[in-house]
């Protein structure tokens, strides 16, 4: 089974539990804290992922580290993941869980490409305009690429909205090349 499929299954189960208790924000915060812990301490990641350490020792250490700092359902969830030997997919589970929460709350993450770095007011304007256009709360992830020359390129899911100056110029060029010009009248001799 692919890791993303496994992660999605775990995320769906945790999402269902957190929904019943209204603890999505707390679970997201716990995932962030666990992620920081794993990023900042590679030895902890090694401890969790090595098969030489028993699942019981891992669960005990996680319970001590997370108890009182994370919701009980999150602590139990992480221990269940360790029981099944799937701790390597925790990051994927977090990503899938965030996607489920975003869908539930009507948020849409979009990749936005601009020719120049926008200021904060422009970022808010882009988010507001896209939210109106797409009918959901849009969370833009902005990237700068001077090659588009101007305008905006928006990607979400498998959709691409290309309003770049480069594409417009290319389209204009094609239109100009496709125009049938009238033949010049033969000169009478």
Strand order in the sheet with 159-164: 137-144, 107-114, 151-156, 159-164
CATH of the domain at 88: 1.10.520.20
Residue 186: is its pLDDT beyond 70? no
Interval 129-139: pLDDT, tens: 999 998 999 99
What is the chain's Cα-based Rg? 25
Q: Are residues 64 and 129 in the same domain?
A: no
Whether 188 is in a domain gets the answer no
Q: Are residues 39 and 96 in the same domain?
A: yes
Looking at 53, 69, 103, which one is the last position of a domain? Answer: 103
From the centroid of its chain, how far is CA 155? Answer: 12
Looking at 88, 103, 118, which one is the last position of a domain? Answer: 103
Interval 99-118: pLDDT, tens: 999 999 999 999 999 999 99
Name the DSSP letter for residue 67.
Answer: B
Whether 13 is in a domain gets the answer yes
Consecutive H or E run containing 46: helix 42-49
Q: Are residues 92 and 126 in the same domain?
A: no
Largest CA distance in the chain: 102
The DSSP annotation for 113-159 comes to EESS---HHHHHHHHHHHHHHHTSEEEEEEEE-GGG-SEEEEEETTE
Q: Are residues 74 and 148 in the same domain?
A: no
Q: Are residues 27 and 79 in the same domain?
A: yes
Distance from C-alpha of 132 to C-alpha of 85, rounded to nearest angstrom: 44
Q: Are residues 10 and 93 in the same domain?
A: yes
Question: 118 Cβ partners below 8 Å, 6+ apart?
Answer: 126, 142
Looking at 67, 83, 103, which one is the last position of a domain? Answer: 103
**Domains identified in the chain, total number:** 2
More confident position, 69 or 188: 69
Whether 183 is in a domain gets the answer no
Interval 151-181: pLDDT, tens: 899 998 888 888 888 878 888 888 888 888 7
Query: What is the chain's mean pLDDT, rounded?
Result: 90
Whether 40 is in a domain gets the answer yes
Whether 185 is in a domain gets the answer no
Whether 26 is in a domain gets the answer yes
Q: Residue 48: how many CA atoms within 13 Å on its side-chain side?
A: 26
CATH of the domain at 171: 3.40.30
Do residues 127 and 121 make contact, with C-beta atoms less than 8 angstroms apart? Answer: no
Q: Residue 171: how many CA atoms within 13 Å on its side-chain side?
A: 7
Q: Are residues 115 and 87 in the same domain?
A: no
Whether 44 is in a domain gets the answer yes
Distance from C-alpha of 105 to C-alpha of 87, rounded to nearest angstrom: 27
Phi, psi values for residue 132, rounded to 5°: -65, -45
Q: Are residues 81 and 29 in the same domain?
A: yes
Q: pTM here?
A: 0.70
Residue 102's closest CA among 137, 140, 126?
Answer: 137
Q: Are residues 74 and 88 in the same domain?
A: yes
Domain that holds residue 72: 3-103
């Amino acid at each position: 089974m692919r890791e993303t499929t496994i992660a999605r299954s775990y995320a769906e189960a945790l999402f269902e539990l957190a929904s019943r208790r209204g603890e999505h924000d707390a679970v997201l915060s716990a995932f962030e804290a666990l992620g920081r812990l794993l990023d900042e301490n590679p030895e902890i990641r090694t401890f969790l992922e090595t098969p030489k350490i028993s699942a019981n020792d891992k669960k005990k250490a996680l319970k001590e580290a997370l108890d009182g700092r994370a919701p009980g359902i999150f602590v139990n969830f992480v221990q269940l993941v360790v029981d099944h030997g799937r701790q390597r997919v925790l990051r994927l589970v977090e990503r899938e869980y965030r996607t489920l929460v975003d869908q539930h709350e009507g948020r849409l993450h979009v990749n936005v490409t601009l020719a120049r770095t926008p200021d904060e007011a422009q970022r808010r304007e882009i988010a507001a305009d896209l939210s109106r256009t797409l009918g959901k709360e849009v969370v833009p992830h902005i990237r700068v690429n001077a090659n588009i020359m101007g305008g905006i390129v928006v990607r979400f899911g498998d959709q691409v909205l290309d309003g770049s100056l480069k594409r417009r110029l290319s389209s204009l060029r094609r239109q100009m090349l496709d125009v049938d010009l009238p033949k010049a009248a033969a000169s009478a001799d």
